[in-house]
Amino acid sequence: MAVARTKAELLRLKRSEERTAFVPTMGALHEGHLALAALAKTKAPRVVVSIFVNPTQFAPNEDFESYPRDLEGDLKKLEAAGVDLVYTPGLEDIYPAGPCVSLKAGKEATGLESDFRPHFFDGVVTVVSRLFEQIRPDLAIFGEKDYQQMMVVREMVRNLGLPIEIVAAPIVRDDYGLALSSRNAYLNDAQLITARCLNKILLVPPENPEQALLAAGFEKVDYVARRWGRILAAAWIGKARLIDNMQSGR
Ligand code: AMP
């Protein structure tokens, strides 16, 4: 497995003629990320994974500094997963003029996450477009866990006319249905019990899902909403903000 730690190293590697599948991540990898890498391997002979905690998708009051990081552990997992190349750029490789957004997300970014994290999707499309530019994949895999993000990236690719297919990967969950997330590391045992109620409430939504989430121990519910034939939610326990979504009959 090759590791490129800078843009210069990435560009020095001979550009492969092989069809390339790309999985962008922020690291602290878990089985959800590895499932994306495994899906990538079925789609293309060459798999590239990036690890970059993107400052422009965090607001100043959010968890950029404390976001979990485990580069050496991540590299071992990716090697075992059969990934061909890992790109771990530095800040200056993605933001040579300093971290700021240079692209605006389109209509899919309206509402839901944007109502609570207005900076978020402009940061996502900025970093993803720069990674696409540097890696030039044929396809890229995004998890349905971040469903709105996947839709926003699809819209960006369409709007820019990029020759990149966006493939959606199903959500990987623990034995209790909790969607795996790097931020689950913030949860203590009692909070984990509450967190595991989120998927059950979305699976069989009661009349008032927000009320049910609060009763289950969530401290604040940002939204429960239906869009794209899904029911999507974001809710807080302690310093963890959990998101999840499921296919919805309505
Ligand atoms: P992140 O490192 O959180 O930015 O996630 C990188 C990619 O992995 C995104 O496309 C996420 O949607 C995806 N992902 C994260 N957690 C899961 C999960 N539990 N199941 C499926 N995909 C996931």
Residues with CB under 6 Å of ligand 1 are 25-26, 32-33, 35-36, 142-143, 145-146, 169, 171-172, 179-182
Residue 158 CA to residue 165 CA, distance in Å, equals 10
Residue nearest to atom 11 of ligand 1 (CA): 143
Write out pLDDT tens, residues 44-99.
999 999 999 999 999 999 999 999 999 999 999 999 999 999 999 999 999 999 99
Which residues is 236 bridged to in the sheet?
220, 241
Strand pairing class (85-87; 139-143): unpaired
Q: Which of these, 139, 159, 153, lies nearest to 36 by C-alpha position?
A: 139
Quickly tell me which residue has 């552990």 as its tokens. 73
Q: From its phi and psi, is residue 228 left (phi > 0), alpha (psi between -120 and 50) or beta?
A: left
Per annotation, catalytic residue among 30, 33, 46, 130? 33
> 181 alpha carbon to ligand 1 midpoint, in Å?
7
Q: What are the residue ranges in the chain where pLDDT is below 50?
A: none
Ligand 1 atom with the shortest distance to the CA of 181: 16
User: Exposed, middle or buried, 80 (CB in 10 Å: 0-12/13-18/19+)?
Assistant: exposed
As given in the structure block, the two tokens for residue 120 are 């978020």
Clarify whether 33 is annotated catalytic: yes
pLDDT of residue 96: 97
> 176 alpha carbon to ligand 1 midpoint, in Å?
18
Quickly tell me which residue has 């100043």 as its tokens. 60
